[in-house]
Each structure stands twice: as C-alpha cells, then as structure tokens.
Structure 1
Amino acid sequence: MSLIGTEVLPFKAQAFQKGKFLEVTEANFKGQWSVVCFYPADFTFVCPTELEDLQNQYATLKELGVEVYSVSTDTHFTHKAWHASSEAISKVEYIMIGDPSHVISRNFDVLIEAEGLADRGTFIIDPDGVIQAVEITAGGIGRDASALINKIKAAQYVRNNPGEVCPAKWQEGGKTLKPSLDLVGKI
C-alpha cells in the first residue's frame, strides 16, 4: 500500500543533534516541511557519503523551510559515536534519529525484517504531517540530495497553487500545467 497522502504514524524516539540527545515524535513533522532519510546503518560505506551530501544541501533545505531527519536502526548513542569518529558525519547538523525498536522503519515501510536494517528511503512530508513523496533505492545505490531540492520545490509549489501540477523536469519558475478536459490528449 502506498504511503503517499497518508499521515505519519505515531512514534517516540531518541535522537542526536549538535552534541545533544533529544526526543523526537511524529509531532516534529508538523508545522514545517520535513525530509526523513532512512539508511541501513552507521559505520558503513555508502551511508556516510549520502549523509554528508545531505548536509551539503542542508542550508538550502533550511532556506526552503525544510527540517531534515536521518534515521537508522542504530541507537542515538551510536549516532553520537559515529559523529565523533567520522570526518564526513562530523559535519552533520541535522537530527539523527535512532530506531533500535524498528517502530519508525516499520511505520514508513522500509524495514528489512530479516536484517533489522532500513532500506534507503527518502520521504518528503508536508506541514500537515502528510507524506507527499517517497523514494526507495537498493542498498548499493546512493542518493543525490540535489535532486531532492527540486522535488521539494515542486511539492511546495503544488501545495501553494491548487489546481496546478508540475510536469517532468520542472524547475522553479518553469511552466506548470492546469489539468482540464481541454488538455486531455494534447500533451
């Protein structure tokens, strides 16, 4: 079943951010745009490249009113240790959620049950806590955070401009479509 258009399910978890531990719940995803980025595990290979890339786009995401949350099935203690020992991860300023209970990974349908790890899943959540976009890739395929920027801009545009949609390869300021009977068969 698709998670698109569904509200984030309840959870409570411990997280690490900027040298501190904090509690995060589904309520954190309301009132602003959010990106939730699941990855398999700390101290691995592709994961630090993705999280560093996401950090490199963090300022742009914040300018768009987006908060970023990374999630793995590791604990918040493991996130702290990884942050202290990895050059790439030491740059991360966004919230790193621990999901050792697998509740969040199951809620977002990214848990690989046999391994106890999460798939590489990226979710764009609107200010109402509703999932607007989902991307899931195989474990060996890293994601590009710059592509995420355009998806967020499109999601924000559609939310702010009811009745309009963004076509393929849409860029901010580009032409949109207004679906109607007159457009059927003409695109």
Structure 2
Amino acid sequence: MSLINTEIQPFKATAFHNGKFVEVSDADLKGKWSVFFFYPADFTFVCPTELEDLAERYEEFQKLGVQIYGISTDTHFAHKAWHDTSEAIKKVNYPLVGDPTGRLARAFGVMIEEEGLALRGTFVINPELKVKVAEVNDNGIGREAGELLRKVRAAQYIAANPGEVCPAKWKEGSATLKPSLDLVGKI
C-alpha cells in the first residue's frame, strides 16, 4: 500500500543535533514541511555522500521552511560518534535520528528485516503530517539533494495552488498545467 496522502504514525525518538541529544516526535513536524531521509547505517560508503550533499544544500531547504531528518537504525550515540569522526558528517546540521528498534523504518515500509537496516527511503511530509513524496531506492543507489529540492518545491507549489500540477522537469517559476478537458490529447 502506498503511503502517499496517508498521515504519519505518532512517534518519539532521540536524535543527535547540534552537539546535543534531543527528543523528536510527530508533534515537532506539525505545521511544518519535513523530509525523512532514511539510510542504511553510519560508518558506511554511500550514506556519507548523501548526507553531505544534503548538508551542503540544507540552507536552501530551510529557506523553504523544510526540516530534514536523517534516520538510520543506528543509535543516537553512533550518530554522535560518526559526526565526531567523519569530515563529511561534521557538515550535517540537521537532526540524525536513531531508530535502533526499526519502528520508524517499519512505519515507512523501508525496514530490511533480515539485515536490521533501512533502505534508502525519502519521504516529504506536509504540515498536516501527510506524506506527499515517497521514494525508495536500492541501497546501492545514492540520492541527490537537488532533485529532492525540486520535489519539495513542487509539493509546496501544488499545495498552495490547488488545481495545478507540475509536469516533468518542472522547476520553480516555470509553467504548470491546469488539467482540463481542453488539454486531453494536446500534450
């Protein structure tokens, strides 16, 4: 079953954020745009490239009012240790959420039970706590922050402009479509 337009389940977790351990819950997401960015594990290979890419674009997400949450099945303690030892992860200023029981990974359908790890799942959550973008990659395929930014902008645009849709390759400021009988067969 798709998670699109479903409300996220209530949760509480501990994250490493700005040098501290902090509690994160569904209540923190209410009224804001959020991205849940699941990755398999700390101290791995593709993961730091993705998290560093997000860190380098984090300010752009924040200008859009979007909070990013990096999530793996590691503990918040492991996140701190990784942050303290990796040059790439030292750049991360968004919360790294510990999910050692896999509860969040299971709720979003990205848990690999036999490995105890998460797939590379990306979820854009609107201020009403509904999933608007859901993408899951094989763990060998890294994601790109620029494409995620485009999807966030598109989700925010259609939320603010009911009746319009964003076509392929849509970028902020480009033309959208208004589905109607007049467009059938003309695109």
User: TM (normalized to structure 2)?
Assistant: 0.98
* 1:109 aligned partner: 109
The 5-angstrom pairing of residues 156-175 of structure 1 reads 156-175=156-175
Aligned partner letter, 1:177: L
| Aligned equivalents of 2:123, 2:57: Cα separation in 1 | 16
- Give the C-alpha shift of residue 135 in structure 1: 1.2
- Give the C-alpha shift of residue 63 in structure 1: 0.5
SS at match of 1:88: helix
- Give the C-alpha shift of residue 25 in structure 1: 1.0
- Give the C-alpha shift of residue 48 in structure 1: 0.5
* 2:133 aligned partner: 133
SS at match of 2:90: helix
Aligned partner letter, 1:170: W
* 1:34 aligned partner: 34
Q: Deviation digits for residues 44-90 of structure 1, max 9, x if unmatched?
A: 01000100000001000000110000000000000001000111101
| Aligned equivalents of 1:30, 1:178: Cα separation in 2 | 29
Gaps of 5+ in 1: none
| Aligned equivalents of 2:30, 2:56: Cα separation in 1 | 24
SS at match of 1:136: strand
* 1:50 aligned partner: 50
Q: Percent identity?
A: 63
User: TM (normalized to structure 1)?
Assistant: 0.98
- Give the C-alpha shift of residue 136 in structure 1: 0.9
- Give the C-alpha shift of residue 91 in structure 1: 1.0
Gaps of 5+ in 2: none
SS at match of 1:8: coil
Q: Deviation digits for residues 78-112 of structure 1, max 9, x if unmatched?
A: 00010001111011100000000111000100000
| Aligned equivalents of 1:170, 1:12: Cα separation in 2 | 35
- Give the C-alpha shift of residue 122 in structure 1: 0.6
Count of residue correspondences? 187
- Give the C-alpha shift of residue 145 in structure 1: 0.5
- Give the C-alpha shift of residue 149 in structure 1: 0.9
SS at match of 1:177: coil
- Give the C-alpha shift of residue 11 in structure 1: 1.2
Question: CA RMSD, aligned part only?
Answer: 0.7
Matched, 1:2 2:21: no
Matched, 1:124 2:107: no
- Give the C-alpha shift of residue 176 in structure 1: 0.7
Q: Deviation digits for residues 119-148 of structure 1, max 9, x if unmatched?
A: 001111111111000111111111110111
| Aligned equivalents of 1:37, 1:28: Cα separation in 2 | 16
